[in-house]
Chain A
Amino acid sequence: MTIKEKQDEIIEEFSAFDDWMDKYSLLIELGNELDSFDEAHRKDQNLIEGCQSKVWLHAELNDGKIEFQGDSDAIITKGIVALLLRVLSGHTMDEILDTDLYFVDEIGLKEHLSPTRSNGLVAMIKQIKAYALAFKAKQA
């Protein structure tokens, strides 16, 4: 699936809910189901510290595609991390760098990606793109 297709799929899944609490129940579920984070990667260099919640992010390059692992100490943040990884993990550097993440807006979670929210997610997306750039530079 392309990044766009994945985003559209998520929008479709969330469109079933018009109550906030249902949306957040799904996010909590996604957070709980996120693949467990390899403890070997839980180190300071992988930590993105927001004022409210913390995010960990690890990246590896496999066959020209970046595989991400992520985690958070807050379950709602972790649910959003799960969505972001579902969309972006397993894609090439160029695909990731060219991505416009419109799904967050569409499913009504824009506030979590506001720079003032300080939950680590904005920095996490920056970090994902930074990994893509770095891997690309290494390959060139």
Chain B
Amino acid sequence: MTLDIRKIRNDFPILSQTVHGKPLVYFDNAATTQKPTSVIEAEADVYRKFNSNIHRGVHHLSNVCTEAYEEVRKKVADFINAESKEEIIFTKGTTESVNLLSSSFGGSFLKEGDEVILTEMEHHSNIVPWQLLEKRQGIKVKVLPVSDKGELDVEAFKGLVSFRTKMVAVTHISNVMGTINPIREIIELAHLKDVPVMIDGAQAIHHVPVDVKSLDCDFYVFSGHKMYGPTGVGVLYGKRKWLKEIQPYQGGGEMIDKVAFSGTTYNDLPYKFEAGTPNYAGVIGMGAAIDYLLTNDRESIWSYEHELFEYALEKMKTIPGIRFIGEAENRTSVISFLLGNSHPFDVGTLLDKLGFALRTGHHCAQPLMDKMGIPGTVRASFAFYNSREEVDRLVEALNRVGAMLG
């Protein structure tokens, strides 16, 4: 099945505008994706039709709202092929999911001298929460290096896992280079030593198939806003055996069973980890995003996106002085580059005036920038509503910008 891109673009009202008098070309999808009308309407409908605080309500609206919220939990579980909906914890986003995990897993299972393995290509959100544990609990963060091409070395990973290793936290797809990491191998190797693995799926969830059961990962985290859903909502998937054992993250609200000053008991999964009134409108919006993705043939989306990525790569190679950052064999959806000796800020500023939304800077991955010996990159990241024509226009614009900056 081929995608009708023109029809798909019509589903995303934001895309039809002009910026600085030029038609908008949105290539900042790794930062956030745009929302189809159905998602916008689903979230608005919560407030328009059945807004009411969820759980423990006896009245009609509360029941409707609770059902809609819990239905999304089931939808997410099916979407990533989790064993059950109890394994789906709603959070504010990927960052909160990692913080929840580091804090709760750390509090339950990590002690001084234990090690957590990260990689050099992690987003700050999957570095700093673990560094906080270094300070708080005296654990040690070990870092798997990235090659010049932007790939992880699985052999080196073997050497890094030891009896001290208690967690491996690695990104599925690099937000800077688009590298698709060999997470299946990493998970298998870690499991040989009974070490659990968390996968940061922020950049992967909408670009590649994600099947947590088949991957056998222990935790998988992602954000709603990068999969065409609303901001302020995300997911922590965890295997039940782990979620049952680890302590709660925050206290209050739905997470309790019984509260007494003599001792409080906690609610069952998944509510144990959802303290306070959750962002139910956002969750319901994310449910609509999943519905939207499923109304299109997902295989076609993935292959279209990958073809567009490869098309862009080929076309961009023709630009004088262009240098790609990250040239992994297995990569998708994200192209980071530099133009001659031009500063990324200059390139991004000029592109903006030509109607292009790209991101410049370190992309919250300063350790990777240090490794590559650069202050930042210009990054184009694609979604299935982007077209070849937009890529052609970017190439034309980059040639113009390159000439201007000399």
Q: Taking beta carbons and an 8 Å cutoff, which residues of A are in contact with B? A: 20-21, 24-25, 28, 51-53, 73-77, 119
Contacts and interface: CB of A to CB of B under 8 A. Distances in A.
A21 B345 contact: no
A20 B349 CA distance: 11
Interface string B352-393: 011000001100000000000001100000000000000000
Contacts of B345: 52-53, 74, 76-77, 119
B294 interface: no
A55 to B, nearest CB: 11
A20 B353 contact: yes
A66 to B, nearest CB: 27
A21 B353 CA distance: 7
A49 B361 CA distance: 13
A28 B361 contact: no
Interface of B: 20, 342-346, 349-350, 353-354, 360-361, 375-376, 400, 404-405
Contacts of A52: 344-345, 360-361, 376
Given A52-B361, A119-B345, 14 more contacts: A21-B350, A21-B400, A24-B349, A24-B350, A25-B404, A28-B405, A52-B376, A53-B343, A73-B343, A75-B343, A75-B346, A76-B345, A76-B349, A77-B346
A47 to B, nearest CB: 13
Nearest to A32: B406
B343 A24 contact: no
Nearest to A23: B353
Chain A interface, DSSP helix/strand/loop, else mixed: helix
29 contacts: A20-B20, A21-B350, A21-B353, A21-B354, A21-B400, A21-B404, A24-B349, A24-B350, A24-B353, A25-B404, A28-B346, A51-B361, A52-B344, A52-B345, A52-B361, A52-B376, A53-B345, A73-B343, A73-B375, A74-B343, A74-B345, A74-B346, A75-B342, A76-B346, A76-B349, A76-B350, A77-B345, A77-B346, A119-B345
Contacts of A77: 345-346
Contacts of A20: 20, 353
Contacts of A28: 346, 404-405
Contacts of A25: 404
A27 to B, nearest CB: 9
A28 B342 CA distance: 11
Contacts of A24: 349-350, 353, 404
Contacts of B375: 73
Contacts of A75: 342-343, 346, 405
Contacts of B404: 21, 24-25, 28
B20 to A, nearest CB: 6
B340 to A, nearest CB: 11
A76 B345 CA distance: 8
A18 to B, nearest CB: 10
Contacts of B405: 28, 75
Nearest to A79: B346
A28 B404 CA distance: 8
A24 B342 CA distance: 14
Contacts of B360: 52
Nearest to A21: B353
A91 B354 CA distance: 37
Contacts of B20: 20
Contacts of A76: 345-346, 349-350
A137 B354 CA distance: 47
A25 B375 CA distance: 24
B378 to A, nearest CB: 11
A46 B405 CA distance: 26
Nearest to B362: A51
A73 B405 CA distance: 13
B402 to A, nearest CB: 12
